[in-house]
């Protein structure tokens, strides 16, 4: 049994439990995806309680499962196709020296994040990045404190001030936004306000449980001239929703034709796009963007989930935006804008 199998056993068991035990099983199943070591070795050493979310009760349950070689059930669609941290690091170990130059989705206190612009710069530079895209939410997503045009402008001045402090060292913050897209492909910000940004991600945040084919919805979003990157395309969330369905080959072919990128939202609960869809995106020649979707300190490192997924899917490294320099990245976005004008 590996951590992926244990995560499914814990989640499955939670569906039969009640009260505090149910909550403990659910928490542990989610945390199993980000445990830094595999379960069996810890169990042999009696160190299961060193894992986040595992106390005496869960230690007894897990030990029994291991002793009885408990079969792992097939996960439902809401929990299928997620990588664990241990699997991610195993994949990355096969590609030594390959490191992302930056992170292309993150949030600050300007919307629903928990860090300031300056704090995010400190965290990103310490992580070894050359750049960090700040992609706070836009005004249509009020539940996430989305910014209007005036706030976006003010944030831009703050980003410029922070960048001045880092100019000598080469690190920079990118002026960006995660713009909310309607189901018919329209953004919620004035194009003039977006023109001065380095990058624009466009993401769906509503009607994410529809069962009908949503291909036309994606084609409309890709046709939006203000968007360079389609954010967390499927909209899936671990153990919560499966996300939208579409003729993905057609969607990815259109993205490639337009030269636009599709994102891997690398947050462990999202991992969107998943490997299965990334393989199709790769076959259609898509450019890939990777974002941690970090909202709090410690989450920037989630980008490794995205890089591992891209490598597992066989995406050529020259099609991963985060492996380009900031100048190359900004130039790519500017060329897309000129082409869409």
pLDDT (tens digit per residue) in 46-85: 889 998 899 999 999 999 999 999 999 999 999 999 999 9
> Rounded to an integer, what distance in angstroms lies between the CA atom of residue 312 and that of residue 304?
12
Task: Look at the alpha carbons of 316, 292, 39, 74 in this order and tell me if their dihedral is positive or negative.
Answer: negative
Query: Is the confidence at residue 92, as pLDDT, over 80?
Result: yes
Query: Is the confidence at residue 246, as pLDDT, over 80?
Result: yes
pLDDT (tens digit per residue) in 151-180: 999 999 999 999 999 988 899 999 999 999
* pLDDT for the residue 239: 95
pLDDT (tens digit per residue) in 122-151: 999 999 999 999 999 999 888 889 999 999
**CATH 3.20.20.140 is the classification of domain 95-340:** yes
Query: Is the confidence at residue 341, as pLDDT, over 90?
Result: no
Closest CA to 34 of 16, 49, 53: 53
* Burial group, residue 99, by CB count within 10 angstroms (0-12, 13-18, 19+): middle
Q: Could you tell me which CATH class the domain 3-75 is placed in?
A: mainly alpha
What does R_g of the chain's alpha carbons equal in angstroms?
A: 20
Q: Cα separations (Å) of 158 from 14, 103, 108?
A: 45, 19, 12
Q: State the DSSP code for 107.
A: -
Query: Is the confidence at residue 1, as pLDDT, over 90?
Result: no
Q: Do 139 and 188 touch, CB atoms closer than 8 A? A: yes
Closest CA to 133 of 292, 267, 271: 292
The mean pLDDT of the chain is: 95
Query: Is the confidence at residue 41, as pLDDT, over 80?
Result: no
Q: Do 174 and 132 touch, CB atoms closer than 8 A? A: yes
DSSP secondary structure of 311-331: HHTT--GGGBGGGS-HHHHHH
Identical fold between 3-75 and 95-340: no
pLDDT-derived band at 315 (thresholds 50, 70, 90) equals very high
* pLDDT for the residue 39: 82
Residue written as token pair 């963007």? 289
State mean pLDDT over 220-241. Answer: 96
State mean pLDDT over 94-111. Answer: 96
pLDDT (tens digit per residue) in 104-113: 999 999 999 9
Q: Which residues touch 125 (CB under 8 Å, ≥6 apart)? A: 166, 169, 171
* pLDDT for the residue 42: 85
**Domain positions in the chain:** 3-75, 95-340
């Amino acid at each position: 049994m590996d951590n992926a199998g244990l995560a499914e056993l814990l989640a499955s068991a939670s569906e039969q439990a009640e009260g505090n035990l149910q909550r403990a099983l659910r928490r542990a199943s989610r945390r199993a995806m980000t445990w830094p070591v595999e379960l069996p070795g810890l169990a042999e050493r009696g160190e299961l309680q060193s894992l986040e979310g595992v106390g005496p009760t869960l230690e007894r349950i897990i030990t029994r499962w291991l002793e009885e070689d408990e079969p792992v059930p097939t996960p439902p669609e809401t929990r299928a196709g997620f990588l664990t941290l241990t699997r991610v690091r195993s994949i990355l170990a096969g590609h030594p020296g390959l490191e992302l130059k930056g992170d292309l989705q993150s949030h600050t206190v300007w919307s629903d994040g928990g860090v300031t612009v300056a704090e995010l710069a400190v965290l990103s530079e310490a992580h070894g990045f050359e750049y960090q895209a700040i992609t706070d939410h836009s005004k249509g997503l009020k539940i996430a404190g989305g910014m209007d045009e005036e706030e976006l402008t003010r944030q831009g001045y703050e980003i410029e001030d922070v960048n001045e402090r880092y100019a000598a060292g080469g690190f920079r913050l990118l002026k960006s936004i995660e713009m909310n897209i309607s189901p018919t492909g329209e953004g919620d910000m004035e194009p003039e306000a977006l023109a001065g940004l380095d990058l624009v991600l466009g993401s769906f945040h509503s009607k994410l449980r529809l069962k009908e084919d949503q291909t036309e919805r994606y084609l409309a979003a890709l046709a939006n001239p203000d968007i360079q990157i389609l954010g967390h395309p499927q909209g899936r969330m671990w153990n919560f929703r499966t996300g939208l369905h579409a003729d993905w080959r057609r969607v990815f072919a259109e993205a490639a034709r337009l030269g636009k990128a599709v994102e891997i939202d690398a947050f462990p609960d999202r991992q969107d796009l998943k490997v299965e869809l990334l393989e199709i995106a790769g076959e259609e020649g898509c450019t890939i963007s990777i974002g941690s979707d970090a909202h709090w300190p410690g989450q920037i490192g989630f980008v490794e989930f995205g890089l591992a997924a891209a490598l597992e899917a066989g995406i050529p490294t020259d099609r991963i935006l985060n492996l380009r320099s900031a100048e190359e990245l900004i130039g790519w976005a500017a060329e897309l804008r000129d082409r869409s004008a």
